[in-house]
Structure formats: structure tokens, C-alpha cells
A and B are shown apart, each in its own frame.
Chain A
Amino acid sequence: MSAHNYVPSSKLGKWFNDRLPLLSLSSHIREYPTPKNLNYWWTFGGILTFCLVAQIVTGVILAMHYVAQADLAFESVEHIMRDVNYGWLIRYFHANGSSMFFLAVYIHIFRSMYYGSHKSPREVIWIIGMIIYFLMMMTAFMGYVLPWGQMSFWAATVITNLFSAVPFVGESITNWLWGGFAVGNPTLTRFYSLHYLLSFLIFGLVILHIWALHIPGNNNPIGIELKKPSKDTVPFHPYIVIKDLFALLIFLILFAFFVFYSPNLLGHPDNYIEANPMVTPNHIVPEWYLLPFYAILRSVPDKLFGVIAMFASVFVLVILPWLDTSKVKSAIFRPLYKQFYWILVLDVLILGYMGAMPAEGTYLLIARVATTYYFVHFLVILPVLGYKEKTLPVPLNITEPVLGGSPNPDMVKKKELYD
């Protein structure tokens, strides 16, 4: 927080700022010192903010036309698609928006893991981020149920039935979640209410996420703590703002491709059949962004332990800052971690693919191996690597790798500062 001494130039501004320091906040954001070596992987925070706002805007509009009632919901979605002016555009934007949101959040999370952004002193940013991610999954799941197609209905059935694995009170919990003895109208109306609520809860947590980020400041590709502000930083505005906007434009090209040219590519055709509690579609799959977790659930032959493994796979991410014991943050200086990192990326992609395939034969075997490796990576490899790995020398500041270990008097001074 560097903008404490900011004074507005106008008298009115000063009068207002003394009573509510919004202008100080705005000045803080503009001048916020940002590492000058941030690459394009750092632009996904801005992209994610755009995605959230876009989902809220389109969602509020859809809520004006959608009817949350089991007999009318499916029809009202078709009404939005056919009758409402630009309804098709707004719905396709919202539906594909969730996929774009998850694509961006996965890149954002894996970027953090590569450059060690989850490590001290940024653990709280990471944990809030993981809570946001978990809420995103819940929100996306409940939103997927609302069109009340076959996939909606059976996704709701399978996911809520996860809780029936709880010993003794499982059935009471599922009946409570459903408001009946099966998924039905009461389930639809409460999912609608919560879907709406959760998006704003996420919005609140995003503010905390950014607040927590502004305390230590951004991590950077070489993963060292910088003196801020200094020669190693640039002000957020205009440098980062322009870079973020440029990245957002590129991202929007992909977004527009899905919305305008293949709006149903990421969906499932069965969801254009109205929900039927008598018939389960032959092959039910969740949306692509939940597939790795679905694969973990299915790879465990026991119902209760399958559910536990699935929740544990998210929980190990939450405690990642303490599982990754290495003091060096960036994978650039961790030759072994870098390899294990890419194996993990591959492992998660394999899990995702297996989640989309039927749970039998070779697919099941591969899913089991990949599930085991997932947990081994976080619970065995990462803690051990911190002690065993021989890391490369870490530069003292951003300019050092460019200028070499030069006897630049400025740098020698800085070195003393860091020591």
C-alpha cells in the first residue's frame, strides 16, 4: 500500500476523499508497483475478472426470461433461444462463458504452481483462490441443472447422490438436498436461488483475493521477492492494464469462436432432450472442466472412498503451500520440479480424458494409475523434492540475469539490502 500520502488535486475531491478514501484506492491501484518481468501467463487474472463480470451480466439478463419450474424450465430456455431478442446470443455467451471461465482458471492455477505463487507470503491468496475455484465448480454444476434437460437432470442426480455415501445420515442428507425423494421441482428452484447467490459470493471473494494480493504484491517469473517500488517494478497503469487488455482481446477471439461458430461443441446433445426421471442417458458425462475429478471418483471401486478421494483431490490443492517444501519458488530454478510439474499436467489431462470414457477395461486401469500418481505427486514427490532437489542459483533481482553478475555498484548495494 503505497498511496497513503495521495492528495486529490481538486477541493471537492479532497473533501470527498477525507470522508471516503475511494480516490486514494484508485490511486493505489494505478500506481501499484508490478514486477516488470511479468509474462503473458500473468494476464489471466484480468481475463478471469472479465469472465466473472460477463457471467453475472448475462446471468442477470437470462434470469429475466427463465422460469425456474420443472414443467416450464426447459421450454423457457427454448423461448430464450427462439423468441427473446438476442436471447440466443446471451444464452450462448453465458453457457460458453463457463467453459471459458474454467479454461482461464486452470491456466491461472497451473501458472501459480509453475512459478510458486502459492508459497510464502502468498498462501492466503492461494487459499482464497481455491475457495473461489470450489465455489465456481458448485455454481457451474447448479447452472448446468437449470435448463432441465436430460444431462441436467442426471448430473443433478449423480452429484447429489454423492452425499448418500455418508454413513448413517446419507439418505436424510440427499432428501434434504432434493426437497423430496428424488431430484424434482424443489431441487430446481433451490439450485436456481443458490446459483444466483454463489456468483455474488465469488465476486466478494475475488475482492478479498485481490486485496490479499496487494499486500505482498505480485510474484514474478523468477519467483524472488522484490523491493517495491524499485527499478524492478512498473506502475500497474498503464503498463499492466494495456498488456492485460491486449491478452483479453486475444482471449475474446477464442471466446467469440465458440459463441458464434460452435456454440454447442462443449455441450452435450442429450441436454436438448427434456428431463425424464424414467430414463438415464446411456453415457452420462459431466462438463469437460469437471472430468478429472469425475475420473478420480470412478477409479475407486468403493462408493464412500470414491467420494472421499474426489473431495481429497481438491483439498490437497488447498494445503499445497505446505506440501511444497522447497524454498525456491520458480520452476525455472528447479530442474527436477519442472519435470514433475509437466508430468502432473499430463496426468491431469489423462484423468480428464478417462473421465469422458466408459469406466471399464483399460480406461479404468489407466484412470487408477493416473489417480494414484495425482496423490503421489502432492503427498510424496513435492514434500520430498523440497529437501532432495539441487536448485539452480537464484538471481538477486530481475536485472541481474540480463546484465550478468556485474559489479554494478547499484546491485552490490541491493545485495546488501537483501542480505
Chain B
Amino acid sequence: MSDQKKLKRRDFLFTASYAIGAVGVGAVVWPLVDQMNPDKSVKASASIEVDVSSIELGKSITVLWRGKPVFIKRRTQQEISEARAVKLEDLKHPEKDEDRAKDPEWLIMVGVCTHLGCVPLGNKGEYNGWFCPCHGSHYDTSGRVRKGPAPKNLEIPKYEFINNNTIKIG
């Protein structure tokens, strides 16, 4: 009877020691792991302002935001109507063009293929939008994936027009 009691107390002590030890190891390992996450200086460069007054109709520019290219495209009427005519059920990742480009003339998106991160080429591919040379994903004039291995549409970053000529991204 007393033997059994002793054993139980010892079991408890072992379990408690292991548990405290595990918490301690975890507390030591976490800083070693977390140091690899984006640091404060990286996070601080979170937004940029871009002057878009010189972009002509049908042209686009690429700017660097958070180390990634961002496409700023001033779309023609034809490109807009092409994008808006697409039925949602034809899309792999259904999104309305109206939701992607609030001002239909301006399409602003992260120029990183959602497959494996290459930069798609403009005015290329089977849907007159973008084409990724790495693994052959095709995007339409709204930057939505239409064909190929990419699972999602090109990402729309947070942005706003500060005035008629300037866009703030981030």
C-alpha cells in the first residue's frame, strides 16, 4: 500500500519534471526559430507611393514593394470589357473584375505568379493578360488565372489613390 503510494508520487514528479523541461526547451528554442522571421526593418518598409501620371493607356509599370514586383496597369476599354465579360463559373479562382479593380482603368496587383513565385510577362498568353514563363500559367486581363498550375489569381495588394496622380501601396 505504501509502496504504491510512493510510486504514484514519483510518477507525478517525473511527469511534472518532463513537462517543465519541455516548456523550458520550447522557451529556449522559440527565439532561435523566430529570429528567421521578417525583422523590424523589413516590416517597416511596408508602404510606397508611386506617381502614375506618366503611364499611357494600355501601358504598365512595375515597381518594387516589399521586395516583390507590383504591376500598375492602365487598361484599355477593350481589356476592361474582356475582363468583365468573363463568366464566374469559367474561373478557377472566381473573383469579379469589379472587385479586383475598383477604378476599372487601373489594375494594381502583385506581379508574383501564385504557383512558384516567378514574375509573369505582360501582354502575353492565351488570354491577352499575363503569362508565367516558368511553368506556363496564363492570366487574363484582370490577372485571374485561366490555365496552368497556378492555384490562385494574382494578388491585389492594399492600395489607395492619394490624389489623381499618386497611388499608395501597402
Which of B33, B64, B149 has the most chain A CB atoms inside 10 A of its CB? B149
- Min Cβ gap B116→A in Å is 4
CB-nearest residue of chain B to A181: B66
Q: Mark B96-129, 1 if CB is under 8 A from A, else 0.
A: 0000000000000000100111110000000000
Q: Is the CB of A158 within 8 A of B133?
A: no
A158-B134 contact in complex given A181-B42, A181-B66, A279-B119, C-beta closer than 8 Å: yes
For residue A359, which residues in chain B have a CB less than 8 angstroms away from its CB?
A: 135-136
B27 interface contact, C-beta 8 A? no
B62 interface contact, C-beta 8 A? yes
B: interface residue count bin: 20 to 34
Helix, strand, loop or mixed for chain B's interface?
Answer: loop
Q: How far is the CA of A298 from the CA of B62 in the complex (A)?
A: 28
Q: Is the CB of A186 within 8 A of B42?
A: yes
Q: Is the CB of B134 within 8 A of A181?
A: no
Task: Pick the contact of A284: B68, B112, B115, B134 (CB < 8 A).
Answer: B134
Query: Quick check: which of A19-27, A73-81, A300-308 contacts chain B, the rest being far away?
Result: A300-308
For residue B119, which residues in chain A have a CB less than 8 angstroms away from its CB?
A: 277-280
For residue A183, which residues in chain B have a CB less than 8 angstroms away from its CB?
A: 67
Which of A161, A281, A358 has the most chain B CB atoms inside 10 A of its CB? A161
Helix, strand, loop or mixed for chain A's interface?
Answer: loop
Q: Is the CB of A278 within 8 A of B62?
A: yes
Of residues 135 through 168 on chain A, the ones whose CB sits less than 8 Å from some CB of chain B are 154, 157-158, 160-162, 164
B37 interface contact, C-beta 8 A? yes
Q: Is the CB of B39 within 8 A of A186?
A: yes
B21 interface contact, C-beta 8 A? no
A157-B118 contact in complex given A179-B37, A181-B67, A278-B62, C-beta closer than 8 Å: yes
- Min Cβ gap A350→B in Å is 19
Q: Is the CB of B69 within 8 A of A277?
A: yes
A176 interface contact, C-beta 8 A? yes
Task: Pick the contact of B68: A164, A277, A282, A301 (CB < 8 A).
Answer: A277
Q: Is the CB of A179 within 8 A of B38?
A: yes
- Min Cβ gap A133→B in Å is 23
Q: Mark B124-144, 1 if CB is under 8 A from A, else 0.
A: 000000001111100000000
Q: Is the CB of B67 within 8 A of A182?
A: yes
For residue B42, which residues in chain A have a CB less than 8 angstroms away from its CB?
A: 179-181, 184, 186
- Min Cβ gap A67→B in Å is 19
Of residues 20 through 66 on chain B, the ones whose CB sits less than 8 Å from some CB of chain A are 33, 36-39, 42, 62, 64, 66
For residue A280, which residues in chain B have a CB less than 8 angstroms away from its CB?
A: 118-119, 132-134
For residue A411, which residues in chain B have a CB less than 8 angstroms away from its CB?
A: none
B94 interface contact, C-beta 8 A? no
Of residues 294 through 331 on chain A, the ones whose CB sits less than 8 Å from some CB of chain B are 298, 301-303, 306
B150 interface contact, C-beta 8 A? yes
Q: How far is the CA of A277 from the CA of B117 in the complex (A)?
A: 10
Q: Is the CB of B66 within 8 A of A182?
A: yes
A177 interface contact, C-beta 8 A? yes
A180-B149 contact in complex given A157-B117, A158-B116, C-beta closer than 8 Å: no
Q: Is the CB of A306 within 8 A of B149?
A: yes
Q: How far is the CA of A154 from the CA of B134 in the complex (A)?
A: 10
For residue A162, which residues in chain B have a CB less than 8 angstroms away from its CB?
A: 116
Task: Pick the contact of A190: B33, B36, B69 (CB < 8 A).
Answer: B36
Q: How far is the CA of A281 from the CA of B136 in the complex (A)?
A: 13
A389 interface contact, C-beta 8 A? no
| Extra inter-chain contacts (6) besides given A154-B118, A178-B38, A182-B67, CB under 8 Å | A158-B118, A176-B33, A181-B68, A277-B69, A279-B119, A281-B133
Q: Which 8 A-B pairs have the closest CB atoms?
A: A182-B67, A161-B117, A181-B66, A161-B116, A280-B118, A280-B119, A157-B117, A158-B116
